[in-house]
């Protein structure tokens, strides 16, 4: 009962927190302005669009999980921080595409993300954390892989920075689940 | 020890040796797909899933499937133009450099490590129910 009440409170605070993450959006402005002048080649715009689609998916996963009532207040608080990071990544990437004269790729519907990520099968907080860990690992690796496809070093720098954010999310979730850190080095991108 | 016991013991040793050889063969057959699964999760899992379309199309049955043929996935024109079937050799070419094989496609990956490509393709074959020769 106590736990249920906690989750209800957490759910109510979800929307308030979700609006607060917008406050951090200014942090990405500098990053975008540095990289924006570098985006001239269609190939680079294509890579950014793929990354943007990845961020849309991450945002949807955290938003849907945040509203599910499955997360304890402590985990929800962490999820909201990560959600904010993904929203800032999204805004930075979308800005780059717009500045280059492109149309940023749109997110899918929540229903599509629920089907794509099989979110309906999540029953516990552990399920959510396990999925988030997998997605963050995939995202960190995807950014590393895509660096090689970029023609501009400033964009590569931006992608490396985003990958480091995803890796931090992965490590935090990994630790929260009590999973030992892998012994072999080169945890991502191989 | 009589001769019958000696023969039995010899047969037992031969059976054990044969068993070890067969088991080693099994392990060699299973290993690439198992190793490939881990690599698949790390290298492909950011955008792909086995059962559902995400950023990229689902991979169940990809080996032996016509290129750009998952009905509910929106492929790029570049991929639609490729034609043909995903065989292990075409997947190897694809993973070597997606933009070289299909310039303008939405996937940007170049896996330089041939062994990694081989293991990932072995895993994709294992979820395709085909040896990929067709």
How would you classify residue B104: left for phi > 0, otherwise alpha for psi between -120 and 50, otherwise beta?
Answer: left
Residue B16 has pLDDT above 80, yes or no: no
Check CB contact of B38 with chain A, cutoff 8 Å.
no
Could you give the 3-state DSSP secondary structure of residue B85?
strand
Structure confidence at residue B70 (pLDDT): 96
Structure confidence at residue B32 (pLDDT): 79
How many angstroms away from the CA of A48 is the closest CA of chain B?
10
How would you classify residue A101: left for phi > 0, otherwise alpha for psi between -120 and 50, otherwise beta?
Answer: left
Residue B23 has pLDDT above 60, yes or no: no
Q: Which of B35, B45, B51, B55 to mutate to test the interface with A (most CBs of A within 10 A)?
A: B55
Interval B35-51: pLDDT, tens: 899 899 989 999 999 99
Cβ–Cβ < 8 Å for B107, A143: no
CB contact under 8 A, B108 and A54: no
Q: How many CA atoms, within 13 angstroms, populate the side-chain half-sphere of residue B87?
A: 7
Structure tokens at B47: 């955008």
Q: Which of B48, B108, B117 to mutate to test the interface with A (most CBs of A within 10 A)?
A: B108
Nearest to B42 by CA among B113, B93, B99: B113
Cα B33 to Cα B126: distance, rounded to the nearest angstrom: 6
CB contact under 8 A, B47 and A189: no
Q: Average the pLDDT over each of A13-27, A56-70, B7-21, B120-134 and give the range with the smallest value.
A: A13-27
CB contact under 8 A, B106 and A190: no
Residue B18 has pLDDT above 80, yes or no: no
Give the B window 104-123 contacts with A, CB below 8 Å.
104, 106-110, 116
Q: A129 exposed, middle or buried (CB, 10 Å; 0-12, 13-18, 19+)? A: buried
For tokens 């993973």, what's the residue?
B95
pLDDT tens, position by position, for chain A (190 residues)?
445 555 554 555 554 554 444 445 555 666 666 666 666 688 899 999 999 999 999 999 999 999 999 999 999 999 999 999 999 999 999 999 999 999 999 999 999 999 999 999 999 999 999 999 999 999 999 999 999 889 999 999 999 999 999 999 999 999 988 889 889 898 887 6
How many angstroms away from the CA of B52 is the closest CA of chain A?
5
Nearest to A144 by CA among A79, A188, A89: A188
How many angstroms away from the CA of A58 is the closest CA of chain B?
10
CB contact under 8 A, B52 and A117: yes
Structure confidence at residue A42 (pLDDT): 80
- Prediction pTM value: 0.80
Query: Residues of B with CB below 8 A from A156's CB?
Result: none
Cα A31 to Cα A34: distance, rounded to the nearest angstrom: 5
Nearest to A107 by CA among A146, A60, A67, A139: A60
Structure confidence at residue A102 (pLDDT): 93
Q: Where are the alpha helices (DSSP H) in A107-151?
A: 110-116, 125-147
Query: Residues of A with CB below 8 A from B110's CB?
Result: 148-149
Structure confidence at residue A4 (pLDDT): 53
Question: For residue A56, what are the CA distances in angstroms to A50, A59, A96, A113, A190?
Answer: 10, 5, 15, 9, 24
Nearest to B111 by CA among A159, A190, A187, A185: A190
Query: B119: Cβ–Cβ under 8 A, 6 or more apart, which residues?
Result: B32, B33, B35, B36, B39
Structure confidence at residue B85 (pLDDT): 97
Report residue B9's pLDDT band, with 50, 70 and 90 as the boundaries.
low
Structure confidence at residue B12 (pLDDT): 56
Structure confidence at residue B5 (pLDDT): 63
* pLDDT mean across residues, chain B: 83
Cα A49 to Cα B112: distance, rounded to the nearest angstrom: 23
For B42, the closest of A43, A117, A137 (CB atoms) is A137
Report residue B69's pLDDT band, with 50, 70 and 90 as the boundaries.
very high
Structure confidence at residue B20 (pLDDT): 52
Question: For residue A114, what are the CA distances in angstroms to A49, A166, A176, B97, B124?
Answer: 21, 21, 24, 31, 24
Cα B85 to Cα A135: distance, rounded to the nearest angstrom: 29
């Amino acid at each position: 009962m106590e736990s249920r009440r906690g989750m209800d409170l957490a759910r109510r605070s979800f929307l308030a927190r979700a609006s607060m993450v917008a406050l951090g959006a200014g942090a990405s402005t500098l990053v975008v302005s540095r990289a924006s002048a570098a985006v001239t080649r269609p190939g680079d715009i294509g890579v950014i669009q793929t990354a943007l689609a990845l961020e849309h998916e991450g945002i949807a996963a955290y938003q849907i999980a945040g509203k599910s009532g499955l997360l304890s207040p402590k985990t929800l608080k962490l999820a909201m921080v990560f959600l904010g990071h993904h929203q800032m990544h999204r805004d930075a990437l979308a800005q780059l595409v717009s500045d280059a004269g492109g149309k940023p790729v749109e997110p899918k519907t929540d229903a599509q993300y629920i089907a794509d990520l099989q979110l309906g099968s999540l029953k516990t907080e552990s399920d959510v954390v396990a999925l988030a860990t997998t997605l963050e690992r995939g995202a960190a690796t995807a950014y590393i892989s895509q660096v090689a496809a970029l023609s501009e070093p400033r964009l590569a720098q931006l992608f490396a920075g985003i990958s480091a954010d995803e890796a931090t999310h992965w490590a935090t979730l990994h630790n929260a689940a009590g999973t030992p850190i892998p012994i072999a080095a080169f945890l991502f991108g191989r | 020890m009589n001769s019958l016991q000696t023969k039995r013991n010899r047969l037992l040793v031969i059976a054990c040796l044969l068993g070890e050889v067969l088991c080693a063969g099994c392990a060699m057959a299973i290993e690439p797909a198992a190793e490939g699964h881990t690599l698949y999760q790390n290298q492909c899992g950011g955008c792909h899933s086995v059962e559902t379309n995400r950023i990229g199309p689902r991979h169940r049955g990809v080996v032996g499937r016509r290129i750009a043929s998952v009905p509910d996935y929106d492929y790029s024109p570049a991929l639609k133009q490729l034609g043909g079937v995903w065989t292990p050799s075409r997947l190897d070419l694809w993973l070597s450099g997606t933009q070289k094989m299909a310039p303008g496609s939405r996937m940007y990956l170049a896996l330089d490590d041939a062994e990694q490509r081989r293991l990932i393709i072995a895993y994709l074959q294992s979820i395709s129910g085909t040896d990929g020769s067709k």
